């Protein structure tokens, strides 16, 4: 039977080529994701090992909890004087002062290097002359910074900003911007820079001043004397320091921490990308199912003949499954290979976005190959089970009958099954959206997937009437259109399964579009109603992130006569009720003048440094009243208790908890503002105000000034960026669906060879035949688009309803965008038909007419 | 249906050919495996006449039909439909010629399964964007006995009904030529008789020119003449045939072939 199976695959290799492509693309996505993240991981493992090679131990403040991956330290600073204590410990060969903070270089064109918002970090560090403890390596021709006006910068920034040794460069820090002379260009280990981060190294004294605070350092690195082990060194230092707030960790532990932080960041990216890879494979499974269904229908006589000559039901079924196994294995193997190529492309793409990766070979792990092969093969096999079972049920007598592969009546059982599956999926989806159970994302994803399967099962029910409706305008235009409409209707099961693949993509795209539009509308309306400021300053930093800008800006603005009130927003990561969460902190008096956050109890203006404002939602969830105590744990300073003094209703702007500015100053090590809101003095015109503010901002090219309209546009821009990324990642699923359409058309054309020949004989031109196939494809893809839009609208409505409490208060259906989406789906369908339509037109008339 | 003035004149003159093949050669394949399906064949098909083509399998009769009908091209030689040299036409022009001037009835798979009988009948017209002449279509349908079946799909029609729908389609454009390739091959004898009677009437009443390939002497007997083919050549022409005379001719040709 294996011979028959293999011959079957070989004989139909063309029809299976497209199926294999659908599997291949999905597997390539998975393999590419793994190869890319593994490569980055291994690169950083190497780099961290390299830069901490000479580090025997690190002395630093203890952290109350680990706030997660972050380039900037979330620790309290320690006294620099401790260095002398450390240096005296026996076994210590040398020490280096570690200071780290925000420092952004301004390129020759006046623009800051590096994107503050979600790009690589912009770091300032202290230079050390102890070579073993210095992660930076001086390139030839440079020398270390020696004075308070000298810096060295990383090679990546030097390349991007066209900066050379001897150039003068403006560096933005938490202090006032200042100009420095570049005395050298360095690499970070052997890399130009870590992931494209920009690095500026100052003398230790300057670093303390502009990055942190004078006399304080973030850590002290220690080089061990020869013959002293890291563990010995750590215990000796421990004994010598004897301070419960200080911890001493070995160089190995610090290396592992660095590596771990990269692993964590990458695993988030990994999961994000894999979600889209699985969506692509899910769509691919429709294509596989369809190909095998059509293939079984077309080979009914052949399979019946096998039964007639003695093959058992199981053997026939096994032969079809065997074909899928062969295709699954081959396509998956090719997919893994393609994934390696894809990783190379992605790496180049990341480099273009500023995440420069050191040139190292790609890492192809055993796991990459294993997961790619297993997932691709299993999905192919599972998708072929139903067609294989149908093949097994073909009676031997079919070999003798002239059974055409015409549509079967949709059984009541299938309708019932489809309805049950759809309802079940919708129930799980609803539970995920509105329930209060643990893993909501998993439930939402699984529920949506099951709904897709259910709707696909029910698809044939609507495929006929909807195709008829969609094809009607074509049919009115002429015979070719009429034929196309009828062809799309003649086998509803096939049409439905083909359209279902596209439906998945269109659903997800329209769903995301609706969610994004609703988010934008909700944010806009909140800004309109809650923000009383005339202007907003921002450098794109987000709450909990590591970027921001100097608080000097707010101070300077406040001094302007044109300005009546300013409010700087700070943020940090804390633990509340055991959950790690970003919070914002601000001056409550200013907040009361610049915002209307719907205070229901208490007064912002009378909040004290130990007070906290909470949202009505948090108050309800945590049973909080005015006067309740809340424990906030900072990574730096540990547990502090606050008293609820204000309860507010608008949580979309500030989240559930707002801390007073004093809390930020005491507990957030990075004293940077992420936003500053400005209200003009009465009688000052917008343009006059803008002019005055611009005067202050001239020295800070990293900060943008926005009025409310621009602020709204910026918020929309952030949503759009995410949306575009998701569109891009969903594109693969759509491409696979189009491959499915092309495949179905090609198989249908093969099946209709004689009919097409007849049409040619009685006077259908090649052009008309091509147009007929294209129109059929148009109808099928529009069917998928319509189904997708319906589901997308339902899903969109559900998610917006579910996220109402999260601040998505406005449900918006962007009709225009959704119509454009449908039109694009139609166009894509026409594009998918190009190759099959050519093939149909090239058919030899005579061959077609005389084919038995 | 009125016969065009030219056609009428031609019929009176009795000379004009609806189609001609001159020194037609058709070679399939190359080198040692080459097969000469048509071997310098020449024949005329006069306007308003019904010609049957017979011959053993491999004699080239289907190839001749395909080349005359513009479904296939000669290796060398010329085919004229009216005064148009088919060799000079590209695919598009050839397609339009088939649509407008030629009708087809095949042995099987004559109709497009997704279209109704009526839509199948008018297909050559609607493909060209022409509005069918309702009176003419109704008349055809009535005379072929399919007037009450026009709304049905081919799958709901009997074999005989399907062939009559195909015949109506072949006639609907009032073509210069109708080609039939074993049209009765899949029919029972009663349906076959009916169909041949209809084709004969098309020739007699509408002045159609019909070329039919068949291996059935009773079918060939409906024609005005029979051309016998063997090895790609016309080996005999039998005017005003009857079934018996055809059988005699076949027997004689068989004996000659055996010699």
Place of tokens 């699954």: A328
- Taking CA atoms, B47 is separated from A613, A625, B12, B219, in Å, by 101, 105, 10, 20
CB A536 within 8 A of CB A675: yes
For A484, which residue in chain B has the nearest alpha carbon?
B114
Size of interface A-B (CB pairs under 8 A): 73
Q: Are B252 and B86 in contact (CB under 8 A)?
A: no
pLDDT on residue A782: 94
Using alpha carbons only, what angle is made at residue B125 by residues B121 and B130, rounded to the nearest 5 degrees? 140
Residue in A653, A647, A617, A706 with CA at minimum distance from that of residue A529: A653
Percent of chain A at pLDDT exceeding 70: 93
Which DSSP string corresponds to A475-516? HHH-HHHHHHHHHHHH-HHHHHHHHHHHHHHHHHHHHHHHHH
Asked if residue B12 is part of any domain, the answer here is: no
DSSP state of A437: -
CB distance from B115 to chain A under 8 Å? yes
Residue ranges of domains in chain A:
1-76+245-285+308-385, 84-233, 406-532+707-852, 551-699
Instruction: Give me the residue from A487, A762, A764 closest to B169, CB to CB.
Output: A762
Is B245 a member of any domain? yes
CA distance B172 to chain A (A): 11
Give yes or no for a contact between B149 and B102, defined as CB atoms under 8 angstroms apart.
Answer: no
- Give the number of other CB atoms < 10 A from CB of residue A275: 13
What's chain A's length in residues?
852
Q: Does B156 touch chain A (CB under 8 A)?
A: no
Pairing of strands A657-660, A611-615: antiparallel
Residue B4 lies in a domain: no
What the block records as the tokens of A182 is 């570049």
List chain A residues with CB under 8 Å of B96.
763, 765
Has residue B6 got a pLDDT over 80?
A: no
Q: Which residues of A touch B73 (CB under 8 A)?
A: none
Task: Kindly state whether residue B7 falls inside one of the protein's structural domains.
Answer: no
Q: What's the confidence (pLDDT) of residue A668?
A: 82
**What is the chain A residue with the closest CA to B102?**
A762
Residue A305 has what pLDDT?
81
What is residue A292's three-state secondary structure?
helix
Most confident segment among A401-405, A802-806, B112-116: B112-116
The confidence band for A417, taking pLDDT boundaries of 50, 70 and 90, is: confident
Locus of tokens 């309802």: A423
Query: CA-based angle A190:A195:A198, to the nearest 5?
Result: 90
- The answer to whether the CB of A405 falls within 8 A of the CB of A297 is yes
Is 60 exceeded by the pLDDT of residue B194?
yes
In a domain, B200, yes or no: yes
Locate the chain A residue with the closest alpha carbon to B97: A763
State pLDDT tens for residues A597-624: 889 999 988 899 999 999 998 898 899 9
Residue A404 has pLDDT above 70, yes or no: no
| pLDDT tens for each residue of B52-96 | 999 988 888 888 998 998 888 899 999 999 888 998 988 889 888
B224 domain residue, yes or no? yes
- CA separation for the pair A55, A51 (Å, rounded): 8
List residues bridging with A586 in a β-sheet: A660
- Which of B98, B111, B112 is best to mutate for the A interface (most A CBs within 10 A)? B112
pLDDT digits (tens, 9 = 90+) for A113-132: 876 555 677 889 999 999 99
Q: CB under 8 Å to A709, separation ≥6 — which residues?
A: none
Instruction: Say whether B99 and A478 touch across the interface (CB within 8 A).
Output: no
**Strands A100-102 and A78-79, bridge-based pairing:** unpaired
pLDDT at position A192 is: 83
Angle made by CA atoms A618, A621, A625, in degrees to the nearest 5:
65
- CA-nearest of A542, A560, A566, A528 to A677 is A566
> Does B252 fall in a domain?
yes
Say yes or no for a CB contact (<8 Å) between B112 and A483: yes
| Chain centroid, CA A820 distance in Å | 24
Of the partner residues A478, A763, A849, the one whose CB lies closest to the CB of residue B96: A763
pLDDT of residue A512: 92
If residue B40 lies in a helix (H) or strand (E), which one and from where to where? strand B35-46
User: In this structure, what token pair is assigned to residue B45?
Assistant: 């098909």
Give A843's pLDDT tier (boundaries 50, 70, 90): confident
Looking at the 3D structure of chain B, how many domains does it have? 1
What's the count of helices (H) and strands (E) in chain B, helices before strands? 10, 10
Angle between helical axes of A366-392 and A251-298 (0-180°, round to 10)? 20
Burial class (CB in 10 A: 0-12, 13-18, 19+), B5: exposed
Residues A685-709: what's their mean pLDDT?
90
Whether B233 is covered by a domain: the verdict is yes
CB contact under 8 A, A849 and B106: yes
Residues 6+ apart with CB under 8 A from A613: A588, A599, A602, A604, A607, A644, A645, A646, A647, A648, A654, A657, A658
Q: Which residue has the tokens 């040139």?
A: A359
A760–B113 C-beta distance less than 8 A: no
Q: Which of A304-318, A452-466, A552-566, A567-581 is the least confident region?
A: A304-318
Contact B99 A762 (CB under 8 A): yes
φ/ψ bin of A579: left (φ > 0), alpha (ψ from -120 to 50), beta (otherwise): beta
How many alpha carbons lie under 13 Å from residue A719 in its C-beta half-sphere? 19
Can you tell me whether residue B154 is helix, strand or coil?
helix
What residues form DSSP beta bridges with A506?
Answer: none
Helical ranges in A624-680 per DSSP H = 651-654, 661-667
Whether the per-residue pLDDT at A408 is higher than 70: the answer is no
B72 interface with A at CB cutoff 8 Å? yes
Rounded CA-CA distance A112/A703 in Å is 9
The helix (run of H) or strand (run of E) holding residue A648 is strand A638-648
pLDDT given at position A824? 93
At residue A800, the pLDDT reads: 86
Given this model, what pLDDT does residue A113 score?
Answer: 84
Is B89 touching A (CB cutoff 8 A)?
A: no
Residue B218 to residue B221: CA distance in whole angstroms? 5
Q: What is the structure's pLDDT at A358?
A: 65
Task: Check CB contact under 8 Å for B109 and A754.
Answer: yes
* Tokens matching residue A88: 């005296």
Residues A788-804: what's their mean pLDDT? Answer: 89
Instruction: Express each pLDDT in A53-79 by its tens digit.
Output: 999 999 999 888 877 655 456 788 899
Q: What are the beta bridge partners of residue A724? A: none
**Residue range B136-158, pLDDT digits in tens:** 899 889 888 889 999 999 889 98
Tell me if B187 sits within 8 A of B157, measured CB to CB.
no
Concatenating the DSSP letter of every residue in A560-626 gives -TTEEEEEEEEEEEEEETTEEEEEEEE-HHHHHHHB---EEES-GGG--TTEEEEEHHHHHHTT--T
Rg of chain A on CA atoms, in Å: 32
Chain A residues near any Cβ of chain B (below 8 Å): 478-480, 482-483, 486-487, 489-490, 754-755, 758-768, 845-846, 849-850
Length of chain B, please?
A: 259
Indicate which of A487, A762, A771 best probes the interface with B, i.e. most B CBs within 10 Å of its own CB: A762
Looking at per-residue confidence, does A348 or A848 come out higher? Answer: A348
Q: Which of B111, B141, B137 is nearest to B125 (CA)?
A: B137
Are the beta carbons of A613 and A645 closer than 8 angstroms?
yes
Beta B35-46 vs B102-105: how paired, if at all?
unpaired
What residues make up the domain containing B176?
47-73+88-258
**What does the mean pLDDT of chain B come to?**
86
Using a CB-CB distance cutoff of 8 angstroms, which residues of chain B are in contact with residue A490?
A: 113-114
Task: Give B259's pLDDT tier (boundaries 50, 70, 90).
Answer: very low
Neighbours of A245 (CB within 10 A): 11
Q: Minimal Cα–Cα distance from B190 to chain A, Å?
A: 23
pLDDT of residue B165: 93
Contact A128, A108 (CB under 8 A): no
Cα-based angle B205, B210, B214 (whole degrees, multiple of 5): 125
* Residue A105 and residue A153 in contact, taking contact as beta carbons nearer than 8 Å: yes
Tell me, what's the pLDDT at A66?
79
Q: Give the CATH number for residue B117.
A: 3.40.50.300
**pLDDT for residue A546 is more than 70:** no
Over the stretch A329-387, which tens digit does the pLDDT of each residue have? Answer: 999 999 999 999 988 888 887 777 666 666 667 888 899 999 999 999 999 999 999 99
Chain B positions touching A760 (Cβ under 8 A) are 95
Q: What's the whole-number average pLDDT of chain A?
A: 87
What confidence score (pLDDT) does residue A160 get? 85
Q: Check CB contact under 8 Å for A766 and B92.
A: yes
Do the Cβ atoms of A466 and A783 come closer than 8 Å? Answer: yes
Q: How far is CA A329 from CA A389, A513, A775, in A?
A: 21, 36, 35
């Amino acid at each position: 039977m294996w011979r028959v199976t293999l011959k079957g695959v070989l004989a139909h290799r063309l029809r299976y080529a497209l199926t294999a492509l659908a599997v291949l693309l999905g597997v390539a996505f998975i393999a590419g994701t793994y190869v890319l993240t593994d490569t980055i991981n291994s690169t950083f493992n190497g780099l961290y090992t390299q830069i901490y090679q000479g580090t025997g131990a690190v002395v630093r403040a203890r952290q109350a909890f680990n706030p997660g991956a972050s380039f900037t330290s979330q620790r309290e600073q320690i006294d620099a004087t401790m260095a002398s204590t450390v240096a005296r410990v026996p076994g210590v060969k040398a020490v280096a002062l570690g200071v780290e903070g925000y420092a952004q270089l301004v390129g020759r064109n006046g623009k800051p290097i590096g994107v503050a918002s979600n790009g690589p970090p912009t770091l300032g560090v202290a230079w050390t002359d102890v070579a073993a403890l210095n992660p930076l390596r001086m390139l030839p021709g440079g020398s270390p910074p020696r004075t308070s006006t000298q810096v060295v910068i990383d090679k990546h920034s030097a390349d991007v900003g066209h900066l050379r040794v001897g150039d003068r460069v403006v560096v933005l820090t938490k202090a006032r911007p200042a100009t420095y002379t570049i005395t050298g260009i360095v690499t970070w280990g052997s890399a130009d820079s870590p992931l494209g981060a920009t690095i500026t190294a100052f003398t230790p004294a300057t670093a303390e001043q502009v990055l942190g605070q004078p006399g304080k350092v973030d850590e002290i690195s220690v080089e061990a004397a020869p013959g002293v082990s890291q563990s010995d060194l750590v215990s000796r230092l421990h004994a010598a320091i004897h301070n419960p707030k200080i911890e001493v960790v070995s160089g190995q532990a610090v290396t592992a921490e660095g590596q771990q932080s990269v692993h964590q960041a990458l695993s988030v990216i990994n999961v994000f990308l894999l979600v889209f890879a699985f969506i692509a494979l899910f769509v691919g499974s429709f294509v596989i199912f369809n190909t095998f269904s059509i293939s079984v229908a077309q080979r009914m006589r052949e399979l019946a003949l096998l039964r007639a000559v003695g093959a058992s039901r199981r053997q026939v079924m096994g032969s079809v499954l065997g074909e899928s196994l062969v295709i699954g294995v081959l396509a998956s193997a090719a997919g893994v290979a393609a994934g390696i190529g894809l990783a190379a492309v992605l790496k180049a793409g990341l480099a273009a976005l500023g995440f420069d990766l050191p040139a190292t070979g790609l890492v192809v792990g055993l796991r990459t190959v294993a997961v790619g092969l297993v997932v691709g093969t299993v999905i192919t096999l599972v998708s072929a089970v139903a067609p294989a079972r149908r093949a097994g049920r073909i009676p031997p007598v079919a070999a003798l009958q002239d059974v055409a592969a015409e549509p079967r009546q949709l059984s009541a059982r299938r309708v019932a099954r489809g309805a049950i599956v759809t309802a079940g999926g919708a129930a799980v989806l609803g539970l995920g959206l509105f329930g209060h159970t643990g893993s909501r994302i998993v439930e939402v994803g699984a529920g949506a997937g099951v709904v897709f399967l259910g709707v696909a099962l029910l698809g044939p029910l609507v495929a006929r009437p909807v195709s008829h409706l969609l094809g009607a305008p074509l049919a009115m235009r002429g015979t070719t259109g009429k034929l196309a409409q009828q062809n799309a209707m003649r086998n509803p099961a096939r049409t439905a399964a083909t359209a279902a693949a596209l439906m998945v993509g269109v659903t997800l795209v329209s769903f995301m579009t609706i969610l994004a539009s609703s988010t934008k509308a909700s944010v806009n309306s909140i800004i309109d109603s809650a923000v009383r400021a005339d202007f907003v300053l921002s450098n794109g930093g987000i709450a909990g992130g590591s970027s921001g800008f100097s608080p000097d800006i707010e101070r300077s603005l406040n001094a302007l006569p044109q300005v009546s009130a300013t409010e700087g927003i700070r943020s940090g990561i804390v633990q509340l009720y055991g959950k790690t969460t970003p919070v914002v902190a601000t001056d409550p008096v200013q907040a009361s003048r610049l915002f209307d956050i719907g205070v229901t109890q208490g007064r912002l203006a009378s909040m004290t440094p130990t007070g906290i404002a909470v949202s009505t939602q948090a108050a309800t969830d945590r049973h909080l009243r005015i006067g309740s105590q809340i424990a906030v744990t900072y990574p730096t300073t540990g547990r502090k208790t606050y008293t609820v003094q204000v309860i507010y209703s608008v949580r979309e702007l500030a989240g559930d908890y707002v801390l007073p500015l004093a809390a930020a100053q005491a507990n957030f090590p990075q004293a940077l503002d992420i936003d500053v809101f400005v209200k003009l003095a009465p009688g000052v015109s917008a343009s006059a105000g803008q002019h005055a503010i611009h005067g202050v901002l001239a020295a800070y090219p990293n900060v943008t000034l926005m009025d409310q309209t621009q602020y709204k546009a910026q918020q929309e821009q952030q949503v759009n960026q995410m949306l575009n990324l998701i569109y891009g990642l969903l594109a693969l699923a759509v491409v696979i669906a189009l491959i499915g359409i092309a495949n179905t058309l090609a198989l249908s054309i093969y099946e209709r060879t004689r009919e097409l020949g007849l049409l040619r004989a009685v006077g259908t031109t090649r052009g008309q035949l091509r147009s007929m196939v294209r129109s059929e494809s148009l109808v099928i893809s529009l069917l998928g688009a319509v189904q997708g839009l319906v589901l997308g609208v339902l899903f969109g409505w559900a998610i917006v309803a579910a996220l109402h409490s999260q601040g998505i208060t406005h449900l918006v259906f962007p009709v225009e965008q959704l119509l454009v989406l449908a039109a694009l789906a139609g166009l894509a369908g026409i594009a998918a038909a190009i190759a099959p339509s050519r093939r149909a037109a090239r058919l030899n008339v005579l061959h077609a007419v005389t084919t038995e | 249906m009125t016969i065009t003035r030219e056609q009428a004149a031609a019929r009176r003159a009795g000379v004009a050919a609806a189609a001609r093949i001159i020194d037609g050669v058709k070679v399939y394949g190359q080198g040692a495996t080459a097969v000469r399906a048509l071997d310098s064949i020449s024949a005329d098909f006069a306007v308003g006449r019904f010609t049957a083509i017979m011959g053993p399998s491999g004699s080239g009769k289907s190839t001749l039909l395909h080349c005359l009908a513009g479904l296939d091209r000669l290796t060398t030689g010329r085919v004229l439909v009216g005064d148009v040299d088919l060799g000079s036409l590209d695919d598009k022009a050839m397609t339009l010629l088939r649509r407008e001037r030629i009708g087809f009835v095949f042995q099987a798979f004559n109709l497009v399964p997704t279209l109704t009988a009526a839509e199948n009948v008018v297909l050559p017209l609607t493909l060209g964007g022409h509005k069918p002449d309702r009176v003419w279509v109704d008349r055809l349908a009535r005379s072929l006995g399919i007037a009450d079946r026009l709304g049905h799909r081919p799958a709901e029609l009997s074999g005989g009904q399907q062939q009559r729908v195909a015949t109506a389609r072949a006639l609907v454009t009032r073509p210069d030529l109708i080609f039939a390739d074993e049209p009765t091959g899949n029919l029972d004898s009663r349906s076959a008789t009916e169909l041949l009677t209809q084709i004969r009437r098309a020739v007699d009443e509408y002045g159609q020119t019909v070329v039919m390939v068949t291996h059935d002497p009773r079918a060939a007997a409906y024609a005005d003449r029979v051309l016998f083919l063997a090895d790609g050549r016309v080996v005999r022409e039998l005017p005003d045939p009857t079934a018996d005379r055809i059988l005699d001719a076949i027997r004689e040709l068989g004996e000659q072939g055996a010699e």
